Structure 1
Amino acid sequence: MTKPFSFSITARDGRARTGAIATPRGVVRTPAFMTVGTGATVKAMFPEDVAAAGADIILANTYHLMLRPGAERVHRLGGLHQFMHWEKPILTDSGGYQVMSLAKLRRITEDGVTFQSHIDGATIELTPERAIDVQCLLGADIQMVLDECTPFPATRDEARASLDLSMRWAERSKAAFSERAAPGQALFGIVQGSVYPDLREQSARALIGMDFDGYAIGGLAVGEGQDAMFDMVEVTAARLPEDRPRYLMGVGTPEDLVGAIARGIDMFDCVMPTRSGRHCQAFTWRGKRNLRNARYAEDPTPLDAESWCPAAQYERAYLHHLVRSNETLGAMLLTYANVQFYQELMARARDAIIQGRFAAFADDIRRRYADGDEDDG
């Protein structure tokens, strides 16, 4: 018998909380950071190394996989887990954000979104039902409703109209999921409302009424600034059920993560650790480092002696040489170090919550990153 999806909280420290999401493919310790594997791959990393870094779950992208290689093909080949050699849980986003940011000549109607593929210009229709169908074909453990990611800035009227459309799409996504999902799979609703607290509360109430397995906060980290983001996270998290996971989409920096955990968030995703690794930036326990800088040309010390990541033990001078020479290994090593740093950050956050010292831990992270890059403190 397939084990059901469930969420439990084991410790709290203020609003911060630690617990576990149970899925048929394994347990996700929370707070959790989901490394992004957009097109069935975490760029520049072996799946085994992603798991070894401490990741319990990764994120894959419905939009990209729907266009290439195609959800039906992935399904015929055994599903996304088998296809990408990842046995642990996978969360798929709905594709709505990428339609808004990548697609050509998109047109939004009540039914859904019609757009031209950024790959070959083909006309594609993405409805709430199709978004769920694609995610079910992929075999995602946690799926997302189709929503319209409200652009920023947006007037109150624009945000309200976008929110209302997203709530109608959420109802249709829930109905489609009820018909098509396999046992143990879960569906999350997405709170919208831009930077208007009452709209965020309205969206949260509407989604709670639909009874989702978890709730995401969308439409943030799109230019509104950290203070506004935290304000919306605080308002929204306070309205969401205590017994369901809370997921802040597309965030972020180490300071963003600890700030959101302090406000009750359980899950995160962001391309930052992998993208930064491919662009010579490393996240370490002493701040962020740009390995292209000449100061590292003769530095024999490890990238991050405080990390337990094997890639972080390579000498800074060697990493500097690799990135200045455009060697692929440089991007691979820095990506590995970043992915593991984010997992270590979550592990230390969980420990700090259990020990009742999360506020001090968060202050320490903010201090380590406050002075910009490469502060050896």
Structure 2
Amino acid sequence: MDFAFDARTEELRARLLAFMDEHVHPAERVAHEQRAGLASPWDTVPVVEELKAEARRQGLWNLFLPDSPYGAGLTNLQYAPLAEIMGRSPQLAPTATNCAAPDTGNMEVLAQFGDEQQKKQWLEPLLAGEIRSAFAMTEPEVASSDATNITTHIRRDGDEYVISGRKWYISGAMHPDCKIFIVMGKTDPDGADIRRQQSMVLVPRDTPGVTIRRAMRVFGYEDEYHGGHAEVVFDEARVPVANLIGEEGGGFAIAQARLGPGRIHHCMRLIGMAERAIELMCRRAVSREAFGKALAQQGVVQNWIADARVAVEQLRLLVLKTAWMMDTVGNRGAHTEIQAIKIATPRTVVGILDRAIQLYGAGGVSQDFPLAELYAGARTLMIADGPDEVHQRSLARRELKKYR
């Protein structure tokens, strides 16, 4: 059994680590200071554009896309350690390399299911980092953990679709460069197959009838670097029939195809967040004293650090196995493993971050250190892309099926 990364992965890891040390980490404080002077919290800070230009110059761009005509042509197994590195600075690194959600998932949808016109109009500028996008599925009035519950209606009227509905926590929608929504709604709400009722359509942000009602906060954070999260109302918004992605009734299947890679990308980045937390814990432990000795000499602190290291090593192996299976047997064949990492990784990383916050005391919940914001992001991923309980339910059914 060979646990070594291949030559291309090692080469990209070295370049990306250097990029993080030389450009991204020094830019974190700069970005914070620049954001205070922006006219709108959703505007891009200048240093982010500088990072994007440098990442493109170094060839660290669109690393997530396995399709070589569009992206770097990396396998999931090759991309996993790179996403982990980017997870150490989740506010800046994914955006700097054009590997940030929700754009990544939307580009994957367009690359896999979009027609040539849709790719030219929307995929190409997304790949170039010229525009941003949003994925509109979650709704406030139904349990969106069951995607068949969505109530947004997509009605055919001649050569147009008419979209009516209310969405919320639509990531990226507050960003001024967000130009396109992928909207999931029901084209056949009374259809016999509840998984064939839904379709996806492309809705330009400036379409009449599309209203950004308000920004949604996450644990009080605006999440500005990712373009925020919005409540969006579609009131008889009309788009051409040509804006349909794939076929009518294919929305549920496209959503599943989109969420598989998204889930593993989140888990890859979460491991990087955990590594950042361990580093911060160790630095704090050797620099502070309590009750006459360094925190690093306190038994409970040593236990926290040791347990965190063990947990991260376990998670990394499971994520790498899942990536390898996705490459070899496909997303469907790796379904159990994808669900396992989606259950295990966020909750474990939340626990590590919680201990790191405890070690920092008041500083841990302050804006002076990244821990509180990292915690908010990790805790949110216990809900995003399907809550833990949905994945547990499905995984348990698959296990029990073997004994029936």
Q: What TM-score comes out, normalization by structure 1 length?
A: 0.29
TM-score (norm 2): 0.28
Higher-Rg member (1/2): 2
Structure with higher RCO (Cα < 8 A, 6+ apart): 1
Bigger helix share: 2
Greater per-residue strand proportion: 1
